[in-house]
Copies of this chain bind each other. A is one copy, B any other.
Amino acid sequence: MINKVVNHAEEAIEGMTDGMTLMLGGFGLCGIPENCISEIVKKGITGLTCISNNAGVDDFGIGLMLHKRQVKKMIASYVGENAEFERQLLSGELEVELIPQGTLATRCLAAGYGMPAIFTPAGVGTELAEGKEVRDFGGKDYLMEMAFEADFAIVKAWKGDTAGNLIYRKTARNFNPVMAMAGKITIAEVEELVEVGELDPDQIHTPGVFVHRIFQGNSYEKRIEQRTVRSV
C-alpha cells in the first residue's frame, strides 16, 4: 500500500500559500478539521477562498481564520452565528458567495467524480439563476452548475489507515467524503490512525486513492453549537 502519513498538521499543510482555494469539511462545528484550522491560523496564510458549508462561530472553526482576516472569500450555504463575519461582510473586507447546500455538496461530488458540471433545480427562478444556463429536462427547469476546484481539501474523519482510507462517525460525516474526493491535494486528519488491514475494506467511506496526506490529530474539542436535551 502507498503510505500517506505525515507527522502533524504543519507537515500536512505544506505548500499551502496565500490566495489559495480551500475546501473544509464539516457541518456547523460538527466534523470540522480542528487541527488543520489551528495550523492555518498559526501560519497566518491569507487571501484564502474557503468553500465550506458554514463559517464557524466567533471563536471556533473557520471563525478563527476570519478573526485573523485570513479569508478573502467565503463560499457557503449558511453563515449565521458569527459576529466577526458580519462585521467584515458589512465593511466590505470579506466577499461572500451563498449557494444552496445541495448545490454545494453536488459541485464537490462533481469534482471528485470528474464531471465538469451538474444540473440541479435548486435556485431556478431566483436571483441565484442570474447569468446561469437554465435548461428544461422533461418539462422541469434546471440550473447548470460547475464542479468546484480546490487547491486543498481538508477533511476530518474518525478513523483512518496509513493508506489514507477513511471512516467517519455519525453526522460528522456530512461534507467530508465529497470534499475528500475533490481536492487537488486532500488532507485528512483523524482521531485514530491505524495500520493497513485494521479497517474492513467493505466499510471504508473514502478510499485512500483520494487522500494525499493523513495524520492523527489531537486535543479535539468537538464543540457543540446547540446543546439540546429532553427532560427525563
On A, residues with C-beta under 8 Å from B are: 106, 113-121, 137-138, 140, 142, 146, 167-170, 173, 201-203
Contacts and interface: CB of A to CB of B under 8 A. Distances in A.
A25 to B, nearest CB: 16
Number of copies: 2
Given A167-B202, A168-B202, A169-B202, A137 B117 contact: yes
Contact of A201 (B115, B120, B142, B170): B170
B120 A119 contact: no
Nearest to A137: B116
A118 B140 CA distance: 16
Given A169-B202, A201-B170, A106 B116 contact: no
Specify which of A115, A118, A168, A170 lies most central, judged by the most chain B CB atoms within 10 Å of its CB: A115
A116 B119 contact: yes
B117 A106 contact: no
Pick the 7 closest A-B CB pairs, nearest first. Answer: A116-B137, A203-B203, A116-B119, A115-B119, A115-B118, A117-B119, A116-B142
A167 B170 CA distance: 17
A21 to B, nearest CB: 16
Contacts of A170: 201-202
Contacts of A116: 119, 137-138, 140, 142
A173 B200 CA distance: 14
Contact of A120 (B115, B169, B173, B203): B115
A74 to B, nearest CB: 24
A52 to B, nearest CB: 22
Contacts of A169: 202
